[in-house]
Structure 1
Amino acid sequence: MPLEEGRRAAAAGDWLAAGHAFVRAAAEGSAEGAELAARATAGLVPLADGGSAEAAALLAGIYLEHFDESALPMAVRYARAAAEAGLPAGQRTYGHMLATGLGVAEDRVRAVEFFRVAAEAGDAYGAFNLAQLVDDPDESLRLLETAACEGIVAAGAVLADRLSALDRDEEALGWYVWAAERGHTGAMNAAACWYRDGFGTMPDPVQAVRWFFVMLAHGDGDGIHEAIQLVKARALDEEEIREAGRLAGDPGAAEALIGTVLGDSRT
């Protein structure tokens, strides 16, 4: 568990390992992880000031994510230091600040430069960020696919959007499903709607209901009304609804939907 890893590292005086672990815990939704990441700055500042580019990049990220705007000058200072030291994580972070005008004057040209060197060094987020700024659509698609294949789930969803805009619907659906399988709720909704309406594939109401169920399991109930209407409109039987629940890994949702539809039909 990241929190325990972080505590052990902090107890051993390894503030780089501790900071990274606490940041991971915070990214997983741990409020304690966020608090401990903020506290870890006390151990990271001496390392960054002593020339550690990794500590500087980590500090910049913590200041951006877990402090208020008063910490922006510190975030800029450490992001710039890490970027100028040639660390891809620092280049990507400082590029983001330049691209958005966050704590610095907006400079998209320089942002592209930093994103590009980070991407060329293998930084997946650098590739993702660069993909959204370059003018060449083919390069953008390549960068998005690279970032997605390196595990950046949001890149797969954006890639699907771009392919859809190019009427490459079958490929787009494949990437929506890829991102949906990795927890991207927007992609889940897109996959559900595309299976419902037959974009990129033949209409498949079972798959559509499946992805509406998965959305619900991830705390997004926006699709459940569409699922109910779809079951009624396509007259799905109980076994088809149960198959959707099985595919979603949520048989309870299937039984609840069966109860709702049957209840509605009896009134």
Structure 2
Amino acid sequence: MDERAGDPAHDDLEAGREAVAAGDWLAAGHAFVRAATEGSAEGADLAVRVVGGLVPLADAGSADAAALIAGILLEHSDGSALPTAAAYARAAADARHPAGQRTYGHLLANGLGVPADPVTAKALFRAAAEAGDPYAAFNLGQLSDDFDEALALLRTAAEQGVEEAGAVLADRLAAVDRDEEALGWYLWAAGRGHIGAMHAAASWYRDGFGTAPDPVEAVRWFLVMFAHGDGDGVHEAIALVKAGALDAEGIRRAGRLAGTPGAADALLPFLP
């Protein structure tokens, strides 16, 4: 029995290989992109390889294939592929494909493979967002000069699963002292793996922004950061322990909440 079965990236890799065997290049490309998004380097490599099978479809007029090619080349190839990515993104955008509009808008907003054109970029993001593309809503939310519109767009993107949108939304709310709402969105994004939101949540619980100070929750999120491979919060957790902000049981509780009891035990020797 393959112990990797049930792992999303592994399952997507298998689905992609099956699609390649069946000659379904669109399904294969989407599966490999999903695997890459889940952290699979093999998925990223295989997505790039699938481009060769997608090109005839795109050249024959498939906006789906053109948008997928553009996204793969933008995310998983080097700068030399940008002109090709831009050409296919524009073709998909001209066909009013939401992912193509969003990708071409991103290229125009940042001057990648094409001259920068922020006005057209915003128009493309808006069209894609209105068609239901959550990443376009996220991009437009960051560019909008209308504060209320920006909040609405970021909230829409977050509610459709764009974790970074939740973190940016929290930043915007914090900037206008809507701290309780901001903390809620930091926690939302932190719970979905956003490292910056984890650090913000830990720091806010430590310092009492948007809530009463709670050293257990602070250490919890510092430990979650560590579990996700980022040790930047460890020294701050140690400082809380050294200051006597929580006792041994509080440290262990933080570890249980974080799902990292071993890391919590490592903090016990720092108790005063």
Sort the TM-score into its range (normalised by shorter chain): over 0.9
2:25 aligned with 1:5? no
Give CA-to-partner distance per residue, 1:17-40, whole Å, 9 cap, x none: 100111111122212111111110
The residue aligned with 1:87 is 97
2:173 aligned with 1:163? yes
Which whole-Å CA distance do the structure 2 matches of 1:59 and 1:144 have between them?
Answer: 26
The residue aligned with 2:270 is 261
How far does residue 235 in structure 1 lie from its aligned partner after superposition? 3.9
How far does residue 230 in structure 1 lie from its aligned partner after superposition? 0.6
Which whole-Å CA distance do the structure 2 matches of 1:197 and 1:76 have between them?
Answer: 46
Alignment of 1:94-105 (within 5 A): 94-105=104-115
What's the TM-score, normalizing by structure 2? 0.94
Amino acid at match of 1:111: A
Amino acid at match of 1:261: F
* Structure 2 portions without partners, runs of 5+: 1-10
Which whole-Å CA distance do the structure 1 matches of 2:39 and 2:212 have between them?
Answer: 38
SS in 2 for 1:234: coil
The residue aligned with 2:221 is 211
How far does residue 162 in structure 1 lie from its aligned partner after superposition? 0.3
Q: 2:215–2:245: 8 Å Cα contact kept in structure 1?
A: no
* Structure 1 portions without partners, runs of 5+: none
Give CA-to-partner distance per residue, 1:207-253, whole Å, 9 cap, x none: 00000000000000010110011112134111111110111111111
Amino acid at match of 2:163: V
The residue aligned with 1:236 is 246
The residue aligned with 1:185 is 195
Amino acid at match of 1:104: V
The residue aligned with 1:112 is 122
Give CA-to-partner distance per residue, 1:117-172, whole Å, 9 cap, x none: 10001110010000111110110000000000000000000000000000000000
The residue aligned with 2:79 is 69
The residue aligned with 1:252 is 262
Which whole-Å CA distance do the structure 2 matches of 1:245 and 1:68 have between them?
Answer: 41
Amino acid at match of 1:101: G
Aligned equivalent of 2:230, options 202, 220, 227: 220
The residue aligned with 2:8 is none
Give CA-to-partner distance per residue, 1:53-107, whole Å, 9 cap, x none: 0100000011112222221111011000000101100000000011001111111
Identity %: 74
Which whole-Å CA distance do the structure 1 matches of 2:16 and 2:45 have between them?
Answer: 12
How far does residue 199 in structure 1 lie from its aligned partner after superposition? 0.3
Which whole-Å CA distance do the structure 2 matches of 1:142 and 1:44 have between them?
Answer: 36
The residue aligned with 2:153 is 143
Which whole-Å CA distance do the structure 2 matches of 1:68 and 1:238 have between them?
Answer: 49
How many residues align structurally?
A: 262
The residue aligned with 2:4 is none
Which whole-Å CA distance do the structure 2 matches of 1:67 and 1:222 have between them?
Answer: 30
229-238 or 212-221, larger mean C-alpha shift: 229-238
